[in-house]
A and B are shown apart, each in its own frame.
Chain A
């Protein structure tokens, strides 16, 4: 998902008043920032704009098999928010919210423990490992978990987890697998922000008689706010868009919107459902946009501490 947590401020040049008299100079000054941004804009247009347009067109049109004529229709979009598709959408959102929230909490705690340890070696190790683990996913990850924590997994048999009520093939099991890559991702995002909490602030707060809890409630968390929120949005997007791991593990019992798109688009069962797949993709974009719409004002509000 293109949920970008960081904001890129475009270079806005101040028009130099002295140059205003000469047309050629003004032209080049005004033109250069746009020129510099051109590769980025072209990239975005080709790899985000075009697919987005294709999804949009696919979602609102239908092609008749026999005649080959294409007509506009709201049918795909209507179907994509009904019945099994609606269930998939809600269970995707639920799973993503829960795993993102857990990922934020656990990732922040882990990162804080590492940062507070003040061991540079440990920090480098954890951050490097996080970079690798955050990108570990798909079928290999699913199989790694199946082999360790599945019904006949090594750990399951060693610790008699099945008797204790453990099952990997449940939403909870899937959440554990998601956390395997979400927590490292959170560590990567939040570690630099935790570095920014200067020890002096803590000492100053302690000098004024603040307890540890008061420090975190009144200083630490407000300062971290924007980063935590950004991390949450990033984790939500990652979990929301994950596909292959879930498909291999619980594909046939846990409906997720990404699985439904794959069914409609590339399966051996459904025929001619590309429109519904596009509509579902559009639904996902809408969900991501809603999340961003909630995130941006909150981020702006919480970031006022940092100005």
Chain B
């Protein structure tokens, strides 16, 4: 300490050394401990399947020992995540820390990067597919194949297991049947003069995943394709010009207030609102437009540096069990294993029957088509809609 007071240049170095020491010890406080080795001899954060743990019981034991799981951007009213988290927590006695529930996919990626090495970093992620692909390229995710891996269609997972689709749904038209005499069923219907000042999106298509999906669906309904989103942009520009489209971001609050009586959103969210609104006397109808049918899935991924690696893997096993898949189904989301579960009878029939109706199998744009559509939208949306 003497050096600090001596009038020599040495004191600068001393102060620096002192602050460096403080910084280092502070960093050490937040650092995670070394992951323990499983009975099968593999470190939990390197385990790529249930077998690496030596079976489900060993995984549960390892996860319980960690005692916690950090999840991020999972709104409780989105795809039934509230109940999913609660069920998981009760079943395994693991405390679930839910961070930034209303955040976006890029918030998740940012959290993985900025909280790297800290014990509050997210363990598991629920991302838009494009973010899953780019995150995997950046080497942010741990490869892991759940027990039900083979049942996930090949087009809906990364071959190495760094991400795998979880649940999805269709772009749908939600409509307040008490305020709207005849609810619109198709994109063509939305152009009718009777819907002036009534049609809203749940966000800005240059930012919100569901809003850009609605534009994509509108493109499909108006002569566009997965390669051409422009007709969708033109559709909304015309809708804005006629006054049908209002730019206010629809939320449960604006719907309840009656400001956004027609809202384009994922079918599982609109169907979820229907249930929630029924208690408040609102009759919220959900239709999947036959002229523009656009489906999209989200993906699961495990943080490569997950502070609770075993709990993270247990979470995935839980989600891809019949129980987890049925819980998503209860939130009107279509889990990725739904086709095989319908075949083998493990899907809960009453929940399947409650889903908004749709014919045929969904098809998806390729990542390249998706990237091009986004670039086109970002470049042209503001100009087309302005004025």
Q: How far is the CB of B375 from chain A (nearest CB, A)?
A: 9
Q: How far is the CA of A153 from the CA of B197 in the complex (A)?
A: 12
Q: Assess the A87–B209 pair: CB atoms within 8 A.
A: no
Q: Is B379's CB under 8 angstroms from A251's CB?
A: no
Asked if B204 contacts A152 (CB within 8 A), the reply is no
A265–B106 contact, CB under 8 A?
yes
- Which of B240, B249, B382 lies in contact with A248, CB distance below 8 A? B249
Q: Which residues A210-262 have CB closer than 8 A to chain B?
A: 247-255, 259-260, 262
Cα distance A252–B208 in the bound complex, in angstroms: 10
Whether B257 and A147, one on each chain, are in contact in the complex, defined by CB atoms closer than 8 angstroms, is yes
Please give the distance in Å from B140's CB to the nearest CB on chain A.
11
Q: Is A298 an interface residue (CB 8 A)?
A: no
From B131-139, B143-151, B279-287, B319-327, give the one contacting chain A: B131-139
Q: In the complex, A263 Cα to B246 Cα: how many Å?
A: 20
Name the A residues within 8 Å of B137 (CB-CB).
Answer: 65-66
**Interface size range of chain B in the complex:** 35 or more
Of the candidates B105, B259, B261, the one whose C-beta lies within 8 Å of that of A268 is B105
Q: Which of A268-284 contact B (CB under 8 A)?
A: 268-272
A33 CA / B87 CA spacing, docked (Å): 61
- In the bound complex, residues from chain A placing their C-beta under 8 Å from that of B258 are 152
Tell which of A68, A147, A169, A263 touches B204, judged by Cβ atoms closer than 8 Å: A263
Residues of B within 8 A of A147 (CB): 257, 259
Separation in Å of the B63 CB from the closest CB of chain A? 29
B386 within 8 A of partner (CB): yes
Question: A269, B254: Cβ atoms under 8 Å?
Answer: no
B107 touches A266 (CB 8 A): yes
B383 touches A251 (CB 8 A): no
Q: Which of A150, A151, A267 contacts B207 (CB 8 A)?
A: A267
Structural contact, A146 and B378, CB atoms closer than 8 A: no
- Residue pairs across A and B with CB atoms within 8 Å: the count is 122
Give Cα distance in the complex from A101 to B73, angstroms. 40
A20 to chain B, nearest CB (A): 19
In Å, the complex CA distance between A280 and B47 comes to: 42
Give the Cβ gap from A223 to chain B, nearest Cβ, in Å.
42
Alpha-carbon distance between A262 and B386 when the two chains are bound, in angstroms: 19
Interface positions of B from 232 to 264, Cβ below 8 Å from A: 240, 246-249, 253-254, 257-259, 261
B112 CB within 8 Å of chain A: no
Scoring A152, A253, A262 by chain B CB atoms within 10 A of each residue's CB, the highest score goes to A253
Q: From known contacts A152-B259, A268-B208, A269-B206, infer whether A65 and B248 are also in contact, taking CB-CB under 8 Å.
A: no
| Complex CA–CA separation, A260 to B206 (angstroms) | 8
CA of A271 to CA of B259, assembled, Å: 32
User: Is B128 in the interface zone, CB < 8 Å from A?
Assistant: yes
Distance to closest chain A CB from B275 (angstroms) = 23
Query: How long is the Cα–Cα vector from A68 to B139 in the complex, in angstroms?
Result: 10
Q: Of residues B198, B201, B246, B374, which shows the largest number of chain A Cβ atoms within 10 Å of its Cβ? A: B246
Q: What per-residue 1/0 map shows which CB atoms of A69-111 lie under 8 Å from chain B?
A: 0000000000000011001100100000000000000000000
> A252–B203 contact, CB under 8 A?
yes
Question: A251-B207, A255-B386, A267-B104 are known contacts. Are A65 and B249 too (CB-CB below 8 A)?
Answer: no
Q: Chain A residues with Cβ under 8 A from B103's Cβ?
A: 266
On whether the beta carbons of A263 and B207 are closer than 8 Å, the reply is yes
Distance in Å: Cβ of A266 to nearest Cβ of chain B: 5
List of B residues within 8 angstroms of A270 by Cβ: 106, 206-207, 374, 378
Can you sample 10 A-B contacts with CB below 8 Å?
A: A65-B138, A87-B386, A147-B257, A151-B259, A252-B206, A262-B207, A263-B378, A268-B212, A269-B208, A272-B134
Which residues of A are interface residues toward B (Cβ below 8 A)?
A: 65-66, 68, 83-84, 87-88, 91, 143, 146-147, 150-153, 162, 168-169, 247-255, 259-260, 262-263, 265-272
Given A266-B104, A266-B107; 12 other pairs, CB 8 A cutoff? A68-B138, A84-B379, A146-B257, A146-B259, A150-B259, A251-B207, A252-B203, A254-B247, A269-B205, A269-B207, A269-B377, A270-B207
Closest A-B pairs by Cβ, 3 of them: A268-B209, A267-B207, A255-B382
